[in-house]
Chains A and B, each alone.
Chain A
Amino acid sequence: MIYFDNAATTGKKPSTVIEAVAKSLKEYSANPGRSGHRLSVKTADAVYRVREKTAEFFGASGPEKVIFTLNCTHAINYVLKGVLKKGDHIIVSSMEHNAVMRPLINTGISYDIADVSLYDDSETVKNFENKIRPNTRMIFCTGASNVFGKMLPVADIGKLCRKRGILFGVDAAQISGIIPIDMQQMNIDFLCVAPHKGLYAPMGCGILISEKNIPNTLIQGGTGTNSRELVQPEFSPEKYESGTINVPVIIGASAAMDYVKNTGINKIYRHEMTLIKQLYSALKEDKNVILYTPEPMLGSYAPVLSFNYTGTDSISFSEKLSDYGVAVRGGLHCAPIAHEYMGTIEKGTVRVSPAAFNTPQEINTLLRLFKNEKNFKK
């Protein structure tokens, strides 16, 4: 199968990642931070090295800021539910995923949505600034739309937050491993990462990097420390990691970061965007195709392209492609507000998201399928 659903999860993992997971199951099979025996301490040390590497990869101030969660959504829940309190106000973007919107609605916290301009990043920043109120506690936004690929000007929004004394959180699901992120330079207080996407790690853990204390923990339980106390310990990261963490996947994530770093994050991104541009240029000439964004440019778009094919809906179209051996994603991509904003809420879109292992030949195969209209007409 030709796999173009990498924005959901990268379908092919580097062999070094697979080997690291297997090695972890053999060599780090004890519970870290629990028992004092040699294997447990060795495993705890291995996990600590991943925290160190992650902090360096994302420009965080220290390994203790790196918290392993169940997934990126869990990390986002931690930030929104753990930091915000009654009376606060938050601003999110018009491109948010339900990973942000649903927990936000659940908190009952007052919020505003800032429109994302597809053409002018300074306008996007102004839109955020115009929504700031005296009680605005946080801006939380996606790094790039998981549907339309548009990247948000994260560094500029971070600057605005710092200037106005507002906390800044980023859902980096679609940009981690795609573009370099430096939390300190970009003034990011909370970074939520989905390592199984652009970092090519296995599914099964998320990462929250928190430069600020999060007062409320979503879950409480055993941490391997302060065990006489019935209240949750105060120190990060264990405070937020009750229960056993997913060591094999965390070790896999470490190898995945090595893969991205050694291959070159910019090299991977340029390759993916070349494929996107190849696809975009051809689809632009196809009278049956509706595109929604300007031509995706380097530095302004993540490698994600949405479109529709006239005469059919996005889910049927994606299913047809699956029958022809191509994996894409149709529908609303768990981002209804982005579809509302772009006018595609009724039929959704077909999303193509290439990764490092995809080739121009695979894009050509996809385009050849499009050329035969009867493949897709109902």
Chain B
Amino acid sequence: MKRYIITTGTVTYAIKGKDILKRNGYKAKVDRILSGKGSSGCGYAIIIENDIDRALELLKKAGIKILEINEE
């Protein structure tokens, strides 16, 4: 099972994004992360499993600012 770490600009966007994904059937949570590739330091990410494309579409539609996406 693939796990995706979607880094957002702020904790506010992370929680907003998590809520949207949960409402759309995702198992999602917010985690604090230190850095990913190209990250500029501490930040917040939404962690989900599978179907990243639909998730990104939902987040972008809601205006969530995404800094980077990593796969584990």
Contacts and interface: CB of A to CB of B under 8 A. Distances in A.
A291 B60 CA distance: 56
A227 B16 contact: no
A227 B9 CA distance: 11
A229 B42 CA distance: 10
Interface string A210-247: 00000000000001111111000111111000000000
B10 A45 contact: no
> Size class of B's contact patch?
20 to 34
B12 interface: yes
Contacts of A236: 10, 12
Nearest to A227: B41
A332 interface: no
Nearest to B11: A33
B50 interface: no
Interface residues of A, dominant DSSP:
loop
Interface string A52-75: 000000000011100000000000
Interface in B35-51: 35, 39-44
B34 to A, nearest CB: 9
A227 B67 CA distance: 14
Contacts of B15: 44-45, 48
Contacts of B16: 48, 62-64
B40 A226 contact: yes
Nearest to A67: B12
Contacts of A36: 31-33
A32 interface: yes
B41 A51 contact: no
B31 A225 contact: no
The 4 residue pairs across chains A and B that have the minimum distance between CB atoms:
A36-B32, A228-B41, A235-B9, A227-B41
Interface of A: 32-33, 35-36, 40-41, 44-45, 48, 51, 62-64, 223-229, 233-238
